Structure 1
């Protein structure tokens, strides 16, 4: 923030979350600046929904952008609330990121509190103040109900005093933040696009190496699998069921009343990522002692998800006894290969041809898919001779390590950009930097 000037004179705001503010700013009661709008809406008005990503927008538009349904259950006695363009909306039961600006007129459910701004204040300024980390923390500190899943109400909102810059100055702060955060968001988007390209390139490198090998002029043969095409002539193609056994996981909800139990760690779908394990949040489960040997993971198991979102279908990683003992739930399969390395099987399941097999045989529903153990067992495996497998795995290790370093670099850059965005918003809306003389053309 060193490149921005400070205001020439400050005063104590009287509130810890706000700190010192410019001497000519005021601090006012929230209820004097934003009234609770209590107008009833009709069921003919367009239904709106609130999201941290888009603000308050029509449900149809949200569903189109997110490609998912919004389940809105309205009972006969439910009262729809009127909301106008330029209002703000408190999302009472999903408060995680401030108060959302409403750019549309329509109706909202009783799960929201609409706020009507007083004439003469800068809504462009308050759009950013309400999304700033310091304000969110101050608002959340008014109640423990949010953490308990209870409603956040207008009575909580009015407990936090609001800084009040002159309208023209507030508009200038809003315009400044519109411009600067848009630039930051573009940089974040470029890094996210780079990560997507790296993932695509990584899969392409894996797919080519495990299906074509490292010798460009090797004699080829038809694999016998339509979507796989040709493979090196001396390689073997066989079904997974002839090279591995599959262990299903433990189902939840078993009645254990009056039975002896033990408490053990259990892997879930969330723990099994694409090529690695996420073990920072491993749940435990009570089971009968004799079930431990039935569901326990063994070193070298290749874990594979039954399904979920389409991108989770068939994803997996190699288990190396990171936790002992440990079992797995029934939505995670443990595949035990024989005659090939678990790392080779893991690479095959990450290749494009295997992903296509999983997708084509999966049971599909809205944005979800699941694959049965029977269909996993039918996955075609490509098996080169031992020395070639080892050479390919060594080659891919170097390539994948490079991709991982590049992806980690992009993720760090995204983290720094987001931190800068948060700090810039906080500094501007609390008056720690003076942008009154900023103009877009010179920026």
Structure 2
């Protein structure tokens, strides 16, 4: 047709016009052979390997198409979404989420077991092979009762409230020091978390004395009892005493020492601790005098070098004292509780058997035992439990040993701690009655 005829009819035909009339596809091909146009109804139905949709459908209908994981999606994509087919898909999704396959039998599962392929002949046939009664509708799943939902919500709310309460209790510990820059309130939690992680570095094997050939645990006790008196005479800070004992134990756990050199080890350990903790460090001559000139200056300096190299210069370790100060703060302690806790924990420094407990355990048990002494009954607050991370049951064994030491203090030969805490300077804490009831208490 020419353009003039089209204009006379009052219409403009596009270039894709193929002349569809009563003749359908045949007439269209006759009119548009030069352009090789296809019918609109055949668009999107032709695959890459066939020129016409009828040929493609005919060849595919006779092909064998097994359903497996690889082509399952393509198989489902070619099926119409009927009610039965939708029900089968919903049930398959439900069973996958519940990990239960007893009620669901996917299409072709029996054929797959026999390794027999499925003939993809008709979507209607495949849909008829599915029985909707075999599937469980998501609407049939029993929902929880209103009471159960309310109980779950209440339980979660209680947990959140408990966590908020615990956080508030721990924050209240440092509220009094919010204006004290030396208390480093913003970093104190991180500092003690680091102490918790590294306190194992300060621990020694509780049986290390078995590797020593010339000394034993009784000699260690005599040495530490003497050092407590030296520490008191030099008026050193408490951190120095605990670090001195720690250096001695760590060194003896690695190095064999002769009996006549044991006092030299103790004096040198105190010198190292003073250099780390004290502002005014005692000079070597003071140590020589306090030891009744048993050792020379050169011997002390040589031992200092040996000990520093043996310990690899690791002097910064968490001792029971750093935990004791924190736990007393959590217990809202007064002067009586402070002194009695320090007295009990210093009694443990002399005892070789207390090395099996980590520093934080010793500090927590000392505070708990002192509380029981002053109160007359077992007393352990929730705040103390959260701060120390030890329950009353976990502390009971260590606390009973401390009560035993408290009973025996001042009766044997090693009375340095008892005499120190019997003075008015330390509040006569040694005269407090021990919490004997803890020895027979069961939790």
Alignment TM-score, normalising by the size of structure 1:
0.21
Larger strand proportion of the pair? 1
Rg: which structure is higher? 2
Tell which has more relative contact order, 1 or 2 (C-alpha 8 A, sep 6+).
1
Larger helix proportion of the pair? 2
Alignment TM-score, normalising by the size of structure 2:
0.21
